[in-house]
Amino acid sequence: MGPNLLANYYETAAMLIFGIGFTALFLSRNMIKKVIGFNLMDTGMFLFLAAKGYVEGRSAPILTDGVRSATAYINPVPAGLVLTGIVVSVSVTAFLLALTVRLYLKYRTLNLDEMLQRSRRNEAES
């Protein structure tokens, strides 16, 4: 183990959230919970990126009068990446939820296992 696990508490929390989302994506069989897990992974990743760009004691990259030196502001690159990422993540969420509604219309269940069994039964019947 390296020395910085507790010093990097933002990154640690981000990775824990990412892991929780990943586990939910793998282990829960409910489609809605899988989408939630996906969202948790998203936010964990965003938190990690934003934490990488933060510099102690500096302010947001909105230039105030006269101060133009790079030592006064935090890193704007992760903020730009995450800003677009958040909006894209909501559209991915909407797409996944639409797929869930469609699947529910066909199989009348949110449980992935039951969906698979019903689809196999349909296959066997036809």
Segment 82-101, which members bind another protein (CB under 8 A)?
82-84, 86-88, 90-95, 97-101
Other residues' Cβ atoms within 10 Å of the Cβ of residue 98: 10
Q: Is 110 in the site for another protein (CB under 8 A)?
A: yes
17 to 11, 43, 98, 123: CA distances (angstroms): 10, 8, 25, 39
User: Per-residue string for binding with another protein, 9-38, x by CB under 8 A?
Assistant: xxxxx-xxxxxxxxxx-xxxxx-xx-xxx-
> Which residues, numbered 52-81, are part of the site for another protein (CB under 8 A)?
52-63, 68-71, 73-80
Give the shortest CB-72-to-another protein separation in angstroms: 8
Retrieve residue 55's tokens: 């510099």
Q: Is 104 in the site for another protein (CB under 8 A)?
A: yes
Closest CA relative to residue 36, chosen from 52, 24, 48:
24
